Amino acid sequence: MAKNLWMETVAEAQRRARRRLPASVYSALLAGSEKGVTYEDNMNAFGEVGFAPHVAGLVAERDQATTVMGQPISFPVIISPTGVQAVHPEGEVAVARAAAARGTAIGLSSFASRSVEDVVAANPQTFFQLYWMGSRDVMEARMARARAAGAVGLIATLDWTFSYGRDWGSPKIPEKLDLKAMLGFAHEGLLRPKWLLDYVRSGALPDLTTPNLTDGGRPAPTFFGAYGEWMTTPPPTWEDIAWMRETWGGPFMLKGISRHDDARRAVDAGVTAISVSNHGGNNLDTTPATIRLLPGIVEAVGDDVEVLLDGGVRRGSDVVKAVALGARAVMIGRAYLWGLAANGQPGVENVLDILRRGVDSCLLGLGHGSIHDLTPDDVVVPDGFRRELGTGARSRSRT
Ligand SMILES: Cc1cc2nc3c(=O)[nH]c(=O)nc-3n(C[C@H](O)[C@H](O)[C@H](O)COP(=O)(O)O)c2cc1C
């Protein structure tokens, strides 16, 4: 009889991912910068918000459908872009198929291991993600390629400070997985034979290149080659962001907002959506959890843009709390990576199902027939929970 691979929670998917992946790949996904304060707070802060459930007069049919940047999605969860390699041979294509099978959209990292053309073919609801890296001409060419491939939106991610150093140690990632590097990893691969076997069966080892960052038929840069280009690009101004949005010319999300003043500037730059995000705790450690920042930012931008949140979402109840506090939808990162590592495409579908069912239970308990009926009254936010950044006179005067 086939082994039952169904996973009940995201925590179980993470346990399986840990058992299956080589230690260095697992720790590259776990990440979190420096002491991991933000990484932990993103998850734990959801636990500080409570529910106010009803017991009778509940609703039998519950609807989760919504839209993000014009794309209809069957429930308020989309895939956040992760530039992550060597998790599974099908990588982002498996994730894209899983998202399509569950009626939702995928954000594709510019550091992804699979091409935007392959990913759009697997899921036409693909948003391409770009960092501010390279010259304007290079960025324009990358945007043109994504547009020609059929990407239906652009995600500009700005929250990255090139900090490195994790208190529990960064994994060693080779420049290229050639024979020499593989021998260095051999003990890890041999300790994780199922992961290795998946790659052997697929006929290729992870090559750690970035196929969406090639220009004009040249070979794809290695992960570190691309990272070097990014590090040496001068950081963008708000005018640069407005240029990027205009050059893209379609739905545009700015990902990485923590402050009210930045949220307002994003509105002024003409974006379609923002994501309240701290890169899953991988950027400036001790930045507050995104769910603490969300309510204030929602109040600051009103209906001027769509507000999403990402960071720490592991349960359907986390999704519902974010939506009740004003998010249109959430984006998930590690949750689907654990599913992908544990069981490929079905593992990602499993994680999406866990979240959808969790949302449904909450709607039932809260007495709502639709996610659009959720309001802050459905949740209990303790005193002192919220954080408001960038609201002072000094912040407003900076242009
Ligand atoms: C391993 C890893 C790689 C990531 N790479 C990218 C990336 O290339 N582009 C990007 O915009 N965000 C990237 N992120 C951030 C995610 O899009 C998202 O903001 C974060 O994972 C949300 O937190 P969560 O993992 O707790 O859900 C990455 C996150 C992780 C964990």
Q: Does residue 352 have its Cβ closer than 6 Å to ligand 1?
A: no
- Other C-beta atoms closer than 10 Å to the C-beta of 365 total 17
Q: Does residue 29 have its Cβ closer than 6 Å to ligand 1?
A: yes
Residue nearest (by alpha carbon) to ligand 1 atom 2: 82
Residue 170 domain-assigned?
Answer: no
Is 279 annotated as catalytic? Answer: yes
pLDDT at 181: 61
Half-sphere exposure of 149 (CA within 13 A, CB side): 26
Is 303 annotated to bind a ligand? Reply is no
Is 81 annotated to bind a ligand? Reply is yes
| Helix or strand run (H / E) with residue 127 | strand 126-130
Task: Tell me the best of 279, 310, 315 to mutate to test the pocket of ligand 1, counting ligand atoms within 8 Å of each CB and taking the most.
Answer: 279
| Span 308-333, pLDDT tens digits | 999 999 999 999 999 999 999 999 99
Residue nearest (by alpha carbon) to ligand 1 atom 8: 83
| CATH assignment of the domain containing 132 | 3.20.20.70
Q: Does residue 333 have its Cβ closer than 6 Å to ligand 1?
A: yes
Residue 291 domain-assigned?
Answer: yes
- Alpha carbon dihedral 286, 290, 291, 293, in 10-degree steps, equals 90
Q: Does residue 314 have its Cβ closer than 6 Å to ligand 1?
A: no
Is 358 annotated to bind a ligand? Reply is no
Residue 166 domain-assigned?
Answer: no
Cβ proximity of 242 and 256 under 8 Å: no
Residue 36 domain-assigned?
Answer: yes
- Report CA-CA distances (Å) from 399 to 66, 245, 340: 34, 19, 42
Residue 199 domain-assigned?
Answer: no
Is 131 annotated to bind a ligand? Reply is yes
Q: Does residue 311 have its Cβ closer than 6 Å to ligand 1?
A: yes
pLDDT at 195: 84
Residue 86 domain-assigned?
Answer: yes
Which residue range is the domain that position 305 belongs to?
10-161+230-379
| Span 42-51, pLDDT tens digits | 999 999 999 9
- Other C-beta atoms closer than 10 Å to the C-beta of 168 total 9
Q: Does residue 84 have its Cβ closer than 6 Å to ligand 1?
A: yes
SS3 of residue 203 by DSSP: coil
Cβ proximity of 243 and 135 under 8 Å: no
Phi and psi torsions of 366, nearest 5° = -90, -5
Is 314 annotated to bind a ligand? Reply is yes
Residue nearest (by alpha carbon) to ligand 1 atom 5: 82
Cα–Cα distance measured from residue 23 to residue 21, given in angstroms and rounded to the nearest whole number: 6
Q: How far is the CA of 203 from the centre of ligand 1 (A)?
A: 28
Cβ proximity of 208 and 223 under 8 Å: yes
Among candidate residues 293, 206, 251, the one with its CA nearest the CA of residue 107: 251
Task: Tell me the best of 24, 38, 80 to mutate to test the pocket of ligand 1, counting ligand atoms within 8 Å of each CB and taking the most.
Answer: 80
Question: Tokens representing 236?
Answer: 């963008």
- Buried b or exposed e, range 326-352, using 16+ CB within 10 angstroms: bbbbbbbbbbbbbbbbbbbbbbbbbbb
Looking only at Cα atoms, what is the longest distance across the chain?
Answer: 67
Residue 242 domain-assigned?
Answer: yes
Q: How far is the CA of 280 from the centre of ligand 1 (A)?
A: 6
pLDDT at 201: 82
Cβ proximity of 140 and 247 under 8 Å: yes
Is 129 annotated to bind a ligand? Reply is yes
Cα–Cα distance measured from residue 88 to residue 98, given in angstroms and rounded to the nearest whole number: 14
| Span 331-352, pLDDT tens digits | 999 999 999 999 999 999 999 9
| Span 355-377, pLDDT tens digits | 999 999 999 999 999 999 999 99
Q: Does residue 33 have its Cβ closer than 6 Å to ligand 1?
A: no
Residue 362 domain-assigned?
Answer: yes
Q: How far is the CA of 283 from the centre of ligand 1 (A)?
A: 10
Cα–Cα distance measured from residue 151 to residue 124, given in angstroms and rounded to the nearest whole number: 7
Among candidate residues 103, 140, 96, the one with its CA nearest the CA of residue 118: 96
Q: Does residue 255 have its Cβ closer than 6 Å to ligand 1?
A: yes
| Span 23-36, pLDDT tens digits | 888 988 998 899 99
Cα–Cα distance measured from residue 76 to residue 73, given in angstroms and rounded to the nearest whole number: 7
SS3 of residue 200 by DSSP: helix
pLDDT at 173: 66
Tell me the pairing of strands 77-79 and 306-310.
unpaired
| Span 150-183, pLDDT tens digits | 999 999 999 999 987 888 887 776 666 555 565 5
| More confident: 224 or 36 | 36
Round the average pLDDT of the chain to a whole number and report it: 92
Residue nearest (by alpha carbon) to ligand 1 atom 1: 29
Q: Average pLDDT in the 119-147 region?
A: 97
Catalytic residue among 187, 279, 368, 372: 279
Q: How many domains does the chain have?
A: 1
Q: Does residue 312 have its Cβ closer than 6 Å to ligand 1?
A: yes
Atom of ligand 1 nearest to the CA of 256: 19
Q: Please state the pTM of the whole predicted model.
A: 0.95
**Strand-pair partners of 66:** 73
